Amino acid sequence: MEEYKLWINGGQEEGSETREILSPYDQTPVAKVHFADRALMHRAIDAARKAFLQTKHLSSYERFKILEKISRTIYQRKEELARSIALVAGKPIRSARLEVERAVNTFLIAAEESKRINGELIPLDLSPTTKNRWGIVRRFPLGVIAGITPFNFPLNLVAHKMAPAIAAGNSFILRPASQVSPTAMILGEIVHSTDLPPGGVNIVPSGYNAAAALIEEEQVKMITFTGSPAVGWPLKKKAFKKRVTLELGGNAAVVVEPDADLDYVIPRCLLGAFAYAGQICISIQRIFLHQKIYDKFMSEFIEQTKKLRLGDPLDEETDVGPMITRQAAEEIERWIQEAVEEGAQVLVGGGRQGNLVEPTILEKVKPELRISWLEAFAPIVVIYPYSDFEQALEEVNYSIYGLQAGVFTRDLHKAFLAFEKLEVGGVIINDIPTFRVDHMPYGGIKESGFGREGLRYAIEEMTELKLMAINLKT
């Protein structure tokens, strides 16, 4: 069993305690991780503060080389990282490999973006008194950035916070989700094989008390957080003057119009609903089907769902692995039962064995029930028929979340209507809301948070605009 120490100030340190990490699939120990107390977290903050005195002066070429080497080394260690993700997160190994491939791309895009942090030349001669005056605007790094990441993408969500921080010239502290911290520690080893100054990246798994130092310390200039609203909104309130970006989950819906190509739509919806046991912020939780195609869609969708293989994430044939904890699996079981008691019908699935929850399709679910209105974060999808497109859009908006939504239609007018009406950060036309490529802007509104990820957009969040006004007459 591997043992993982903290990464602080360019080296490894023992934590104040160690914890065993158990497999979500069979609860066997898979790793031992060192955890930081407040004193160690303060050491990491101080190391990052000192490192920023160097990272802010790194040239774009130097930042490019650091990020490109991280990308290349992740690719070289692809199978090791994929196995780590499968073991600690319960993600099926084929999906874990795809996550590693995305992380390779995320760091590579960040490397390219490090060369494109452009400024602007602004003419200021808009009146007789400002003749011969020009403004130069450029972006400067903020300083120490703290990233707090969840369990569901142990590598690529870390990449989406770490890579733009490095690209912009900031120093960085990562507090990964405890369960999946071994994957982050492997990434730490990769980062520390580059020429990044010591303390430029620090990786410190910790409990809530130690992590609170990241929010309280003035030396930390920004918090970038992905997790639940229950943690994110109080974090923002406590952060006070710090810059904060929040990605707090979603309840993604897709609308399928009669002119959609069902041979394409159904496999995509299957993937969007059940990949990684639905534990993705933009997993499909609700599908709105036009009445004209309802029966045809449902017949094939149910048949394909029944074929999904549930089981060991290390098995190459597994399609759906375990939920991250027994508590999460039991909670969604209660949500299903609550829906059934209120008149819902389970068309497929509904069962649970340990942390394994069967891919489940429900219909006739009241919209006000938790399984429809809140975030399930489970392999559950609720189906609704509709006859009027605009009414379907209104029903999509009936959620406290607003991250992404999908619409399948060949009608350009309806596509733009959805773009205007849907209360989400991203509208995906002719694909599922689970679609994401790593350079596009990504983030939500309402309870889904605010701020944007996607490398260039994250760099903008992690930098400060500064103006120099010049009088050329003197």
Active site residues: 247, 281
- C-beta of residue 305 within 8 angstroms of C-beta of residue 284: no
CA distance 174 to 188: 10
CA distance 227 to 247: 7
Alpha helix stretches (DSSP H) within 192-344: 208-216, 229-239, 262-274, 294-306, 326-341
Angle between helices 294-306 and 262-274 (to 10 degrees): 50
**If we measure between CA atoms, which residue out of 52, 53, 59, 104 comes closest to residue 77?**
104
**If we measure between CA atoms, which residue out of 323, 21, 36 comes closest to residue 180?**
21
Alpha helix stretches (DSSP H) within 147-289: 156-167, 181-191, 208-216, 229-239, 262-274
User: What residues does 255 pair with on adjacent strands?
Assistant: 288, 407
CA distance 16 to 211: 14
3-class secondary-structure state, position 454: coil
CA distance 260 to 188: 45
**If we measure between CA atoms, which residue out of 340, 365, 7 comes closest to residue 185?**
7
Alpha helix stretches (DSSP H) within 361-402: 370-373, 389-396
**If we measure between CA atoms, which residue out of 73, 67, 399 comes closest to residue 201?**
67
The dihedrals phi and psi of 279, each to the nearest 5 degrees, come to -90, 55
> Which letter does DSSP use for residue 128 in this model?
G
Q: Which residues contact 58 (CB under 8 A, 6 or more apart)?
A: 66, 169, 197
- C-beta of residue 40 within 8 angstroms of C-beta of residue 15: yes
User: What residues does 136 pair with on adjacent strands?
Assistant: 121, 468
CA angle 111, 112, 113 (to 5 degrees): 95
Q: Which residues contact 337 (CB under 8 A, 6 or more apart)?
A: none
Q: How many CA within 13 A on the CB side of residue 381?
A: 31
CA distance 171 to 152: 24
> Which letter does DSSP use for residue 26 in this model?
T
